[in-house]
Structure 1
Amino acid sequence: MDATPRPSCESPEPDLMLDEQLTAFTIAPVWERALALLQAHPKREILIDASRLKRIDDTGIAFLYELRQETRAPGTGVIIRNLSPELSALVPDYPASELGTRPESPPSRPAIEQLGYVTRRKMRQIGNWLDFIADCARTLGPLSRRGNPIRWRETLDIAAEAGANAVPIVLLIGFLMGVIIAFEIALVAREFGAVIFVIDGVGIAMLRELGPLMTAILFAGRSGAAFAAQIGTQKVNEELDAIRTFGLDPIHFLVLPRLLAAALVVPLLTVFADVVGLFGGALVLIRFDIGLYQFYYRLLSVVELEDLFVGLLKAATFGLAIAAIGCRRGLTTGAGATAVGLSATGAVVTSIVCIVVLDGLFTILFDA
């Protein structure tokens, strides 16, 4: 923007010539030159030519408004000439004092009204979840008998990706959990000469609780977030609309393969975690004079198949819950650059809370 001051004389030459644009990005040098002219010539009029001005925003309008409001002694002040009628009409009705003022905040609701609002919102969310679960259950059965079979190839691909890539971290965490639990229990049991009973605690804890629980948390952090991000990205890119345009159901096309893959993979990963966890406990007990053979035969005498089945049932249920939460979060992803990240984060947090709640329900159900 040409902000060069013009010579001050009797001729109609302007003191300041505005360029084609007067916006927040170009106004800084013009503002500086205008202030310099006002300070340098306090006893005469400052002439500003706006004949070139074609584009203006609210910052430029506020600037012109302030110049027009510049009141000094008679024969002084600021004269803006050659401003187009369209732009000139904006300036008189633009009080700069209101620029940037905050709107009044809405009045706060009474406590009972706020409670009702929150309750209604939560009930609506619960209803949406129940509708989603019903859609999944309905899609799993009848559609497979109407020429729209379950996409087993994609299911196996998802299972391989989610399962094979998770094996190393599951083995590591499972082994460390077995080592830690065995060592902590053994330190206390040694004081009472009951180190042999450490095998009971390690076996039951790994098979019924720690194996499926830790595996599910790892799966939620890896695959649950991935499911939400994948489907959320598809929604942001309007790929879900394209799927519906082709007459396909996103629940059947995207959700069911992930549900089945999770129900298959999490129990398998739990078995790996159980095995390495028991092995880690056996290695720790060698330090407490419990040999591998003694560990093995004691484990067989105290651990029943029911403990293993309960753990695998938990794992399958956890897997279904994680996949359902991840897919649901992906399907409800909003617009914007941060929407996918929020969906992935929400999927992980919700999955972990759901895992803990389900684990408590299983404990009450099977130990009552």
Structure 2
Amino acid sequence: VYKRQAQGLWAGRPRGNFRFKARLEGSHSLVHNELGAVRGQVGYTRDNAPESLYAMDKAEGALLRACATLAQADPGLPERLRWPYIPYADYAALVAEAVARINDRTEHALEGWEEQGFVTGSFRLGPREPWRDLADLDALPEGMRGAILAQLRADRAFMPVILGEGLALRGTVSDRLEIKVKDPAIDYAATVAAIVRGPDGVERLLARGQAVLVWVNPLEPLVAYLAEPTKDGPRYLGTAPVMAPAHQDDAAAIAESLKIRAKVQALERAAILPAAQAAAERKRADDAWNREQLAAAREAAKAPGMRPGRGQALEGLAAPAPEGPAQDLDALAPGAPAPAPALTLKDFL
């Protein structure tokens, strides 16, 4: 009902406007995804927030109390400390950087752009050849143009071509990095590990939630051929091992399935470990820096005429330690405050 027509009627329950809600959610979900690696994510709600948020909150509170205690002796202490949560100004810069990165993307398909003439195709004849517009093909002789188009359209993944897209089983990578497919027509079910050996021979993990097409040759039942569905047809990804169902007495088959699962876990750990180690090293460096700054500020607070902040006592002031309980600053060597090293936006990831 239009607003003018609804005057004097009972009002409905306030709620989000369904005409715009999906667009609003979709517009900022891109930014959320781009900023997914920034530390301090709170999750959908506080109940399902990352478990590291608990310790980050405690460390942030300890630093805030220390700054309040030492405010008179060292008013510039908050600017020198490295906080668990990034400052708002740095967060705003990260958002601007993420939005710019989204606007500069080229590997996306937008509905209606091709019809409007905003999308042009390009090709190259080899990995070292320059990219050319498809329109350049019109200027070539008919025979050369046909040969180039045949080469561009050739599918080097022959197994999916032989079996055909109609025989493909559709599946999705689960949280356990598995793809479960079924074919009711022949009473067939299989569990495929989400580890693909591509045409280059390199093994890679598929992303959770990724949709794939799966072919299993009955003459080779322990190998699955995977492709990614696209608007231009299946894009071949490679082969993946099939974890054959095994009876509890079949030790060899069980060991083979466990070996495949172990390989998947090893690849996932190899992808995660560098980021986790870098974050741990950065945290240790930040904690050491903060302890030095707090120790120096406390020594300055012990000078004649200096008093701790209201409701605070220097004896109870402790700096958050990298591991275990907080340490008393009396046990730390005092040092003169030094300027913090320059940080880049990557330091906040």
Do both share a fold (TM > 0.5)? no
TM-score (norm 2): 0.20
Which structure has the bigger radius of gyration?
1
TM-score (norm 1): 0.19
1 or 2, which has the higher helix percentage?
Answer: 1
1 or 2, which has the higher strand percentage?
Answer: 2
